[in-house]
Amino acid sequence: MKTLTQNTIVKSVVGMLGPLYVVFLLQTGLFARFALAGITPNLILIVTSMFGFFLGPKYGMAAGFLGGLMLDVYGGSYFGMYALIYTYMGLMNGLLSMVFYGDDIKLPLFLVGGSDFVFGMIIYATMFLLRGRNDTGFYVMNVMIPEAVYTTVVALFFYFPLHQICRWIDQGGNRSN
């Protein structure tokens, strides 16, 4: 069991809040202004997925909860919904970190794309389907798939900095599961 020292707590908090704050500003500011065909990448999901995959379920859930909470405060329809969804996304990616590990870039990018697609399905089910809007095919083809692809492509640029941050947080190679 890994003992928590003041140094590891500070590294964890700074290493998690720093990237989350930066991608929150990018997602709600810069990328919101330059949407491609009305689609923006889900940067908070990138951080949540990668923290979960590289550092384990606890970090993934913490990153997901904090990132989702920022989005809920910023303007979520139902307070706490994004925090809950992102927490589960961090948990799912963190549980996969117990099975798969490596420095291969393909699996984390695949997980980001898959997580974004699942995220889109959950948002569709809670925000549209329950209100009687049944155009699932249109939503899948025009929103979910393009957003998953866009998020995966953007994740390629965030992979190396986030991987270095995760290594810095988890120096010594002990993963916090």
What CATH number did the domain enclosing 121 receive? Answer: 1.10.1760
pLDDT band at 172, cuts 50/70/90?
low
**Separation CA 49–CA 95 (nearest Å):** 11
- Reported residue count of the chain is 177
Q: What is the pLDDT of residue 45?
A: 96
The two tokens of residue 59 are 């970090």
Domain-embedded: residue 2: no
Over 70: is that where the pLDDT of 155 sits? yes
Domain enclosing residue 29, as ranges: 9-169
Over 90: is that where the pLDDT of 118 sits? yes
**Separation CA 44–CA 27 (nearest Å):** 8
pTM of the full structure: 0.88
The domain total for the chain is: 1
Over 80: is that where the pLDDT of 173 sits? no
Nearest to 86 by CA among 32, 23, 131, 34: 23
**Mean pLDDT of all residues belonging to the chain:** 87
Domain-embedded: residue 175: no
Tell me 128's DSSP state: T
Tell me the mean pLDDT in the region 155-175: 83
Tell me 140's DSSP state: I
pLDDT band at 75, cuts 50/70/90?
confident
Domain-embedded: residue 174: no
**Separation CA 52–CA 29 (nearest Å):** 25
- Residue 122, φ and ψ in degrees, nearest 5: -65, -45
pLDDT band at 101, cuts 50/70/90?
low
Tell me the mean pLDDT in the region 95-109: 80
Domain-embedded: residue 176: no
Contact status, residue 143 vs residue 39, Cβ threshold 8 Å? yes
pLDDT tens digits, 4-61: 677 777 778 888 899 999 999 999 999 888 888 889 999 999 999 999 999 999 999 9
Contact status, residue 68 vs residue 86, Cβ threshold 8 Å? yes
**Separation CA 155–CA 48 (nearest Å):** 11
Over 60: is that where the pLDDT of 175 sits? no
Q: What is the pLDDT of residue 137?
A: 87
Residues in Cβ contact with 114 at an 8 Å cutoff, skipping those fewer than 6 apart: 148
Domain-embedded: residue 13: yes
Domain-embedded: residue 177: no
Domain-embedded: residue 163: yes
Domain-embedded: residue 3: no
